[in-house]
Structure 1
């Protein structure tokens, strides 16, 4: 593959930071979820529960952000491949959105189970 650079820890770290900056600048869903994460982390700190429960809430909260980033990457690749409305392009985007929805639902269920 011609466009694959040699592995370099510092360059790869820079690519990851560039991706995060791009996501914050261009993806409104990611910005919203990142904003909500501030309050979620505060809630995790102040909720009176075990460390294990707090870690479960933190991990599922971070998982929401990870899946949103993957969904955004899928949407960008689909948009790169075609600007036309195509059933497979729609399916790819819808399936990515479903993954985000399931992850948010998992996080919400963890909060509900903890609070009950």
Structure 2
């Protein structure tokens, strides 16, 4: 009996599946869309403030960290719901831990984002205050 899922035969086929996965999570997961909007805002702020190359590396890593955590959380929730719709302690544990990982990554990103952006924002705010 042949499995309904087969491995990708070519590199481009596997990339097609990856793009389909990204499109699916953007369409289906509200929190992922929210994280994307925040990421776009952060990128625009970084461009506006002309942050350093090192800061861009950190910002890019933090954005990826949060989006990856959100994606894995969505996968764990989907697989858990497939296993059982009934309450199960282990499924609740898996869902709670994966949601906690998203929370930790988001909090770390906010804290590190403040550390990264505040030195760039202080001169801008000082300039604005001198004009008032």
Asked if 2 retains the 8 angstrom alpha-carbon contact of 1:44 and 1:58, the reply is no
Aligned to 1:58: 60
Partner of 1:83, secondary structure, is coil
Which residue matches 1:111? 113
Residues of 1 paired with 2:96 and 2:18: CA distance? 25
Structure 1 gap segments, 5+ residues each: none
Long gaps (5+) in structure 2: 120-132
Structure 1 stretches of 4+ moved >6 Å = none
Question: In the alignment, is the contact (CA less than 8 A) between 2:8 and 2:14 conserved in 1?
Answer: no
What does residue 12 of structure 2 align with? 10
RMSD: 1.7
The alignment's TM-score, normalised by the length of structure 2, stands at 0.80
Deviation at 1:48, TM superposition (A): 4.4
* Greater Cα radius of gyration, structure 1 or 2: 2
* TM-score, normalised with respect to structure 1: 0.90
Measured in 2, the distance between the counterparts of 1:96 and 1:72 equals 9
